[in-house]
Amino acid sequence: MNAASPLTPHPSPVITIDGPSASGKGTVAERVAAALGLHFLDSGALYRLTALSAMQHRVALTDEASVAALASALPAEFREGAVWLAGQDVTEAIRAEAVGEGASKVAALPAVREALLARQRAYCQPPGLVADGRDMGTVVFPDAVAKVFLTASAGARAQRRYKQLIDKGISANLPALVVDMEARDARDTQRSVAPLKPAPDALLLDTTEMDIESSVQAVLDHYHNRIAAN
């Protein structure tokens, strides 16, 4: 991917932002992309769309071959700030906790990950890409110019998710959210394929005590330092 020599800037630099759920990586990644005028990939949305598609087709989330077939032909589009599946606006539907749960189950199936790989790499287009997920820096874009692993304590992440849900008028239970979050973290970190873990060359950013603006700034500083170092 980064075939350019260190002296010629890559035409499509990639910044990867990985981390556990509700760490704030989606918001940070979107703002970093906007600040730099780069494309943005929310890879979690692809796993959520795959789970939603399986649910709609009444395919068991454990049926690896059938779920992978749905993933490889996913009729999904990201346009006008909305997410579409087979012509239906599913922007809100994919954010449901049940779909997130389903996403983390189908994401543990190797054939599903394989089916989504080329699609994710195709987002790497000029002028460059900010990609957020769990394995952006380790598997999908191992040659990324700058990699960040964004974390926050489970308590802080559950609080953030709780606030997001309440702000949307969805009732939520904080202790239950902490339990769900820990279960999802365990599934994401313990799966055998592409487990959630920092790339060896990633900047570790603990945002427990940071707000969004300072997290965005830290990622931008890291990116500019990496560019300057090349």
Which of 134, 147, 157, 161 contacts ligand C5P by CB under 6 A? 134
By CB under 6 A, tell whether 21 contacts ligand C5P: yes
By CB under 6 A, tell whether 104 contacts ligand C5P: yes
By CB under 6 A, tell whether 102 contacts ligand C5P: no
Q: How far is 128 from 38, CA to CA, in rounded Å? A: 5
Of all helices (H) and strands (E), which one includes residue 42?
Answer: strand 39-42
Which of 103, 158, 202, 219 contacts ligand C5P by CB under 6 A? 103
Going 169 to 22 to 185 to 16, the CA torsion angle's sign is positive
* SS3 label, residue 182: helix
Q: Which is nearer to ligand C5P, 104 or 207 (CB)?
A: 104
Q: Smallest distance, Å, CB 128 to ligand C5P? A: 18
Classify residue 115 by burial, with Cβ atoms within 10 Å: 0-12, 13-18, 19+: buried
By CB under 6 A, tell whether 133 contacts ligand C5P: yes
By CB under 6 A, tell whether 48 contacts ligand C5P: yes
Pick the piece of the chain touching ligand C5P (CB under 6 A) from 2-10, 121-129, 130-138, 157-165: 130-138
Take residue 113 and report the two structure tokens written for it: 């990950």
Q: Smallest distance, Å, CB 147 to ligand C5P? A: 13
Q: Which is nearer to ligand C5P, 115 or 135 (CB)?
A: 135
By CB under 6 A, tell whether 107 contacts ligand C5P: yes
Which of 161, 188, 199, 203 contacts ligand C5P by CB under 6 A? 188
Q: What is the b/e burial string over 37-70, where b = at least 16 CB atoms within 10 angstroms of the residue's CB?
A: ebbbbbbbbbbbbbbbbbbeeebebeeeeebbeb
Pick the piece of the chain touching ligand C5P (CB under 6 A) from 28-36, 77-85, 129-137, 170-178: 129-137
Pick the piece of the chain touching ligand C5P (CB under 6 A) from 82-90, 133-141, 154-162, 164-172: 133-141
* SS3 label, residue 127: coil
Q: How far is 44 from 61, CA to CA, in rounded Å? A: 16
Among the listed residues 146, 140, 173, the one whose alpha carbon sits nearest the alpha carbon of residue 159: 173
Say how many residues touch ligand C5P, by CB under 6 A.
14
